[in-house]
Structure formats: structure tokens, C-alpha cells
Amino acid sequence: MDTLKKKLRVFTLVCAACVPVLAHAADTQTKPAIVVLGDSLSAEYGLPRDTGWVNLLRDKLAKERLDYSVANSSISGDTTSGGRARLTAVLTRIKPKVVIVELGANDALRGVPLATTETNLRTIVDASQAAHAKVLLIGMYVPPNYGPDYTQKFHAVYEQIAKDKKVPLVPFLLAGIENQPNMFQADQIHPTVQAQPLLLNNVWPSLKPLLGASASQ
């Protein structure tokens, strides 16, 4: 975890491509859809097009013969406030069956109060569930030099929301690579192409159980 601060510090500065990635979104008109509401970790920042973990998810779904489309509504540098602000439009346009929420790191870097982050995440979960979508929450850790009390409280926000809202939680998208410099791009912030399958492997065990009941709908 010692190298994580360097990897997270520039998240808020990475807004050169601050537009949502919505490749393949047209398929959501004919298939049940999964929406990924995330930041640069899910927005393919610095990667060739269609090589990020979200696109690998499309390939995984096809291999598993699960008839879902995937809409990547991720923006580099985004916060929980940004995700909350654009969620209604995403839900209205795509009508997803599943919403994967991968937000929060930028809140910590900007010093957003934990209560605000928690409120935003709860609102995102509530709105998604109200739109009849299942939710998968992806947690985040902050570096230990933020102080053990803050570090524990920050991650506990995800755990508490998952418990209260009865949604599955992926504890940490970068689990297993956070201390491997070779798994990150030159900026030592964003995972490489080679790391993307590992990110998907962190998500898939919690996501797959959400798909069975909806796969034929």
C-alpha cells in the first residue's frame, strides 16, 4: 500500500479525456445492460481503445454465454458527486439491469468529507435500485499516510453501504497489483494493459451472481 498515494495523487488531475466512455452502448437497446459508473480506472485512461477491464468484461460475458451488453459511463477524474449528478440521465437512457459503481478515490484526494462521499454513494445505490437495477459496489483504499483512522473510516464507508443496502462489494479494484510497479503505466497511477485481466478477476466473482436471474430477461 506504500506506493498507492503516488498512484492516487494525480487522479484529480487526469481530466484530459473527461467524457464518458459509452462504446457499444447501442447494444443496450436489445440486450439487458450493465453500466459501469466509474473514474479513470474504468475509463481506459492511457490504454488502447477497447483494452480496459470493462471491454474484457464484454468478452467474458460472451464466453460465459450471458447475453448482456456493457455501457462504460466512466470519466477520468470523476468524483461521487459527478457520478451522482449524471446518474439519472444514464439510468433513463440505458435502463440497466446492473450498475457497477467504481467511484470515491478522487473524493479522498480532494478532501471531500467522508459524510459527503457516503451520502453520494448511498444516493447512487438508492437511485439505481429504484430504477430496478442490481448494484455492485467497488471499494477503494487510501494510503496509510492519510492516518490509520481515516484509512479505516474511508474503506468502512463502502463496507457499511454494502451491508445496509444489501449489495455485493468488491473490496479493492487494484487488489494484487497495488505494489507492483510493472503493472502500472509510466505515471505509476493507471494500470497497464497487462493488469486489466487482473482487475476483471477482482470484479467477476461478485458480478456473476447478479447476472443469472436477469440473463434471460
Task: Answer yes or no: is 44 within a domain.
Answer: yes
pLDDT band at 39 (very low <50, low <70, confident <90, very high): very high
Task: Answer yes or no: is 150 within a domain.
Answer: yes
Task: Answer yes or no: is 169 within a domain.
Answer: yes
pLDDT band at 147 (very low <50, low <70, confident <90, very high): confident
Q: Which of 104, 84, 198, 82 is nearest to 153 (CA)?
A: 104
Task: Answer yes or no: is 213 within a domain.
Answer: no
Q: Which of 101, 96, 132 is nearest to 118 (CA)?
A: 101
Contact in structure between 125 and 31 (CB atoms under 8 Å):
no
Phi, psi of 11 (to 5 degrees): -55, -45
Task: Answer yes or no: is 214 within a domain.
Answer: no
pTM of the model: 0.87
Q: Which of 113, 132, 28 is nearest to 121 (CA)?
A: 113
pLDDT for 188 equals 81
212 burial (CB, 10 Å; 0-12 / 13-18 / 19+) is exposed
Contact in structure between 87 and 26 (CB atoms under 8 Å):
no
The range of the structural domain enclosing residue 106 comes to 4-206
Region 129-146: what's the mean pLDDT? 90
**C-alpha cell belonging to residue 181:** 510497479
Return the SS3 of 35. strand
Say how far residue 107 (Cα) sits from the centre of its chain.
14
* Number of domains making up the chain: 1
Strands 69-74 and 33-38 turn out to be parallel
Looking at residue 25, its amino acid is: A
Question: In whole angstroms, what is the distance from residue 165 CA to residue 163 CA?
Answer: 6
Strands 134-138 and 69-74 turn out to be unpaired
What's the length of the chain? Answer: 217
Question: Is 10's pLDDT higher than 80?
Answer: no
Task: Answer yes or no: is 186 within a domain.
Answer: yes
Mean pLDDT for the chain? 88
Task: Answer yes or no: is 211 within a domain.
Answer: no
Q: In what order do the strands lie in the sheet with 98-102?
A: 69-74, 33-38, 98-102, 134-138, 169-170
Question: Is 36's pLDDT higher than 80?
Answer: yes
Residue 184 or 10, more confident: 184
CA angle 175, 40, 10 (to 5 degrees): 90
Say how far residue 192 (Cα) sits from the centre of its chain.
16
**Catalytic residue list:** 40, 187, 190
CA dihedral 136, 159, 205, 50 (to 10 degrees): 50
> What's 148's domain CATH number?
3.40.50.1110
For residue range 55-106, what is the model confidence (pLDDT) as tens digits?
A: 999 999 999 999 999 999 999 999 999 999 999 999 999 999 999 999 998 9
Task: Answer yes or no: is 216 within a domain.
Answer: no
